[in-house]
Each structure stands twice: as structure tokens, then as C-alpha cells.
Amino acid sequence: MAVLVALSGAVLGIAFAGSPAHLASGVRVAGVDVGGLTPGAAKSLLQRKWSAVEHAPMTFRAGGHAWHFSASQLGVRPDWGAAVDDARRQGQGFGPLRGFRRLDVRVFGADVAPPTSVYDAALTYVLNRIGDKVDAPRVDASVELQRLRPVVVAGHAGQMLDRPNAAEVIVRSLASLTRQPVNLPLEVDSPRVQVNDLTVVVAEVKTAVSAPVHLTLGSTRFSISPRRIAQLLELPANGRRDLRIGGPGADKWFADLAKNVDREPVDATWAISSSGIRVVPDKPGYSLDVPRSAKAFLRAVLVTEPALRNATLVAATTQAHRTAKDAEAMQIKGPVSSYETFYGGEPNRIHNVQLVSHLIDGQVIAPGATFSFNRATGARTEDKGFRTAPVIINGELKTGLGGGVCQVSTTVFNAAYEAGLPIAARTNHALYISHYPQGRDATVNYPDVDLEFVNDTGHWLLLRTWVGSSSLTVALYGTPVHRRVVSDVAPLKVTGPPPVERTVDPSLQPGEVVVDDSGEPSRSTSVRRRVYTADGKLLYDTVFYSSYRAEPRIIRVGPKPQPAKPKKKRQPKGTTTTTTTPTTTTTPP
């Protein structure tokens, strides 16, 4: 009997096995019946149908709105070859086994969805457009104050585009071979805070605005009225259920309060007088701690007993960068060197001299450190207060922002020079300036031309400036090392005549010459500096060279005399002049 059953099954399997070169009957790809076709024919059929719908717009609906776009617009491309391969595997097998598989497909069917690619950026763009129209976020229950009375405002549910499922629906629909309208999935956005959730916080709001709160800050005590308290409360909203001190009103109130509380710390410094040098102690700074103060304020407004509604605001202490102990340890005991220069000129130049002097005043230079003039002053900009004044630019006297700064750099250079400190960077002016010590001027230009010197004394140095009405003094203080400086100044040599700039002035007489500027020749000089230690040992032997450009001799000259025009000869009266034209005869060769 078993043999008979097996034999019957084999016969049945062979009967439905069909040809392995054709797809099983009942197989569908994207809803298209491809049973009985060869894989190549099935693929061609699907591609023809796809070409007919690829650029056809499809309608998608959601929330009462409709959008129309095609597969080609979103870069949707089904892989029909892979789909046909999948369909072919539905009826594969050997002999009777293939027959049984194909019989199952014939009876129950098999629908294959093609693997599909999509341009993600285009799909995201479409989802955003749809979401902008249909998304209606939930509104949570909240609390409002109406004349200091808390009122609960009920919320309501919203709806949102179900983006992951919507994306799947859009791609699958566009990859199909039909173009029927499709509804996109939406999801309900339910409120997270209901009216009943705010019962406790409503009672807290009532308490908060029930009476004044008394605040203490240091030695100051002041009272905040219920109306002002209401302005500082951040009521439950947007899914929050708690009461806070915050929001725009509180931010402004604390910012105004901080202006009266906050104070920057002051570093310890040195007071210099005829009787010596003493350390001026540092002063701590204060800053209002807004988060901690807000918490203390909130605790106070939630107290029901009016007499106990008190809070102490918190101010944090910030220590100075340089304390009195630090200053004492730096051993600033006495003068190391000083130098004075005199200045004048227009008010803007004097202003710049005074401004940059204050910028470098109080600089401390650590042992072994290099002082940089440009680093100490920063860029000379208008927002720092610098003004336009005469300045040397490219070897010419012009006007520019920060004119007069080189008066200060020259004075600093000479103070470091007299202290016997190594000069790491120094550039002389382009033009010779007679009121500076010969060969000992120093120009600067932010950020490329700098003045630098090195503190090699082994002790801290303090740089101080004193600005008078017509003079500037720069001094260095520290632990005196008693160096001796010897200078030898070479003669100022003329290295070339001034160039002549000649212009013709029509207002002058021919040959007349007017000298507007006699000019200056180019010059050069040098200064040799020898620095000796306190016991007479030669420490440095340095030569500082300076070369100065010529300044042009500017003259105006009168125009050249015009040549006299020849006079015409007059004929005597009553005289007739006869002109005879000669006759030319040409003889042929």
C-alpha cells in the first residue's frame, strides 16, 4: 500500500513539474501574472509596464490634503531582474519535488515584491512637505495667571504623519505598476499633561502670589510684591508640570540685579612712592549665582506663612589672579631703570601716547620671559579708543590710526636699554627723528614690527608708566642687580643726498624757484652698548645699527620762457611787387 502511495505521489509531482525554463503558474510580480513565462520574457514584460508608469504622477492623501509626484521624481527604481529571480525560485527543485512546489504555488499563489531603491534626500523632502501640512502637535494642559488667579487651560490631542510607515507606503506604492490614490498613515499625538495632573501645582501658584517675599543680599534687604513675583514665575506649559522661577521676566530681573552685585576681582599691585614700594592687597570679586538664588527664591514663595517668606540670594566669590601673597613673593623691591621722553603735537597724537601708555602700565615680566610690546597692547583699533594722528608710513609722514604709539615704544626701549636687558627685537624709524636719542629710537607696527626684550635678571620685573602733560616716563622695578651700562654713539653720517621732487608752478615767473621743503639726506648711525655686572664682568657687548631714508627736497619752478614769434616784413607804400613764374623745358632723352 505504501509503495502505491509513493508511486502515486511521484506521478503527481512529475505531472505538475513542468519545464524548469519557465516560471511556475500562479507566480505574480508586483501584481502581474508571470506564470508560464521564461525569466527573460517576464523581465521584459515588467520593464514595459514600468516604462508606462515610471513618470506618471501618483496621488497621496493625508489630513484632507493631496500631493502628486512620480517614481522618477523620487528616484524610485524597482530591480525587476532580482524580482524575476525570486519568482523563479518559487518553483524550483528536482523532478517530483519541483512539481509539488509548483502545485502549491498554483493553488495558493505567490506574489513577489521587487527590491526597490529610492533617492533618500528626495523622499525626506516629500515627507517634510507633507508633515508641514498635516502635523498638528498636541497641546498639553497648562496654567495661566489671570489677575494673580491661576487658571488651568485644557489641552487637546494632535495628529502627526507616521513618517516611517509613510515612507514605506510611498516607496512601495510608487514601485507598483498601478497608479491608484493612496492614503498615508497618521498617528494621534495625545496630550501628556491633563487637567487633573495640575491640581497640586495650581495650589503652589496660589501660594506663590499670596504675599510678598523678603530677599536678603549681603547687608541689603528688599521686598518683592506678589505682582512682581507673578512676573518671575515660569508656569507649567509645553508638557511641564512643575513651577519654576524663570522665563524672560526672571532673566531680565536677575540680569538687572547682577549689574549691582557683580564685581570683577582686582589683582594685588604695587604702590610706588618716594618712601619705597609697598604691595596693595588684592580685592575679591563677586558674581550673582543665579541658579542657586532662583532655587532659594522658589522655596520662599512656596511658604504659606507670610512672616516666613524669606530668602537669601547667593553671590559667589571669585578670587584675584594675583593675590597679595603672590605679589610679596615676586620681590618687587626697587628701581631697576627708567627713561623719560618728551612729546607734543596735535591733541590726537597726545591722546594716543597716553592711551597706549596706560595699556602697558602694570605689566609684570617673569624671570626668563620675553616682553612683547605688540602682545601687551594688542591691535591699535578705533574701538579701543585710538585716533588718527601723524605717523610714518612706508617712509613718508602721513596720518594713520594710532599715530604717536612709537613715542611709547621708543621710551620702553630706552628703559630696557638702560637696564642692560637683552633686546630681542628692535627696528629704527624709517625717517630720522632728532628729538629721540641718536640711534636709540624704536618703531612698532602691529602685528609684524615689534619691540621685544628679555628679562634675564632672574627676578620678576614690573613695568610702570607715568604720563605728564608733555613727558612720558617708563620705569622698570624689581630686585636691583646693579648693572652698569656704557654707550658709545657713532657719528650720524650722511649716506646720500635728498631726492628732488620738482613741479612747475604756472603762477611763478620764468626762472623763479621756490623751495617748499629743503628735505633731508639719508643717514646712518650706530650705538655700541656694553653691559657690566655689579662686580665688573662684561655681560653683553651689542651694536645697534640704524639707517634712515632720505626725505625729498620739494621745489616749485616757474614755466620756461616762450620763444619770440618772428615779425612779418611790411611793404613800402606805393611799391608793386611782380612775381615771375619760371618756365621749365624738358628735353626727351
Q: Evaluate whether 458 touches 442 at the Cβ level (below 8 Å).
A: no
447-468 per-position pLDDT tens digit: 999 999 999 999 999 999 999 8
Q: What is the pLDDT of residue 101?
A: 55
Q: State the pLDDT confidence band at 575, using cuts at 50, 70 and 90.
A: very low
Domain positions in the chain: 2-132, 142-197, 198-327, 330-557
Q: Does residue 171 have a pLDDT over 80? A: yes
Q: Evaluate whether 380 touches 446 at the Cβ level (below 8 Å).
A: yes
Distance (Å, whole) CA 206 – CA 304? 10
Quote the DSSP letter at residue 237. Answer: -
Q: State the pLDDT confidence band at 395, using cuts at 50, 70 and 90.
A: low
Q: Evaluate whether 542 touches 528 at the Cβ level (below 8 Å).
A: yes
370-394 per-position pLDDT tens digit: 999 999 999 989 999 999 877 766 5
469-495 per-position pLDDT tens digit: 889 999 999 999 999 999 999 999 999
Task: Kindly provide the residue ranges of all beta strands, DSSP E only, lying in 418-492, ordered along the sequence.
Answer: 423-425, 452-454, 461-467, 471-478, 484-489
Distance (Å, whole) CA 161 – CA 134? 7
Q: State the pLDDT confidence band at 29, using cuts at 50, 70 and 90.
A: confident
Q: What is the mean pLDDT of the chain?
A: 88
Q: Does residue 348 have a pLDDT over 70? A: yes
115-138 per-position pLDDT tens digit: 999 999 999 999 999 999 999 999
36-74 per-position pLDDT tens digit: 788 888 889 989 999 999 999 999 999 999 999 999 999
- CATH fold, domain 198-327, is Ubiquitin-like (UB roll) (3.10.20)
Q: Does residue 556 have a pLDDT over 90? A: yes
Distance (Å, whole) CA 573 – CA 571? 6
- Block residue for cell numbers 508638557: 239
What ranges in 361-478 are assigned the alpha helix state H? Answer: 373-377, 405-418
Q: What is the pLDDT of residue 389?
A: 79
514-551 per-position pLDDT tens digit: 999 999 999 999 999 999 999 999 999 999 999 999 99
Q: How far apart are the first and last CA of the chain?
A: 149
Identify which has the larger pLDDT, 7 or 162: 162
Pairing of strands 334-342, 538-548: unpaired
Which three cell numbers mark 219? 547687608
Quote the DSSP letter at residue 519. Answer: -
Q: Does residue 277 have a pLDDT over 70? A: yes
Q: Which residues, 6 or more positions from 334, have their beta carbon under 8 angstroms from its beta carbon?
A: 276, 277, 477, 478, 479, 480
Each as own residue / partner, the long-range contacts of residues 79-83 (CB below 8 Å, 24 or more positions apart, any chain) are 79/114, 79/115, 79/116, 79/117, 80/29, 80/43, 80/46, 80/47, 80/50, 80/114, 81/43, 82/114, 82/115, 83/29, 83/30, 83/46, 83/112, 83/113, 83/114, 83/115
Share of the chain above pLDDT 70, in %: 86
Distance (Å, whole) CA 399 – CA 109? 94
Question: How would you class 417 by CB atoms within 10 Å of its CB: exposed for 0-12, middle for 13-18, buried for 19 or more?
Answer: buried
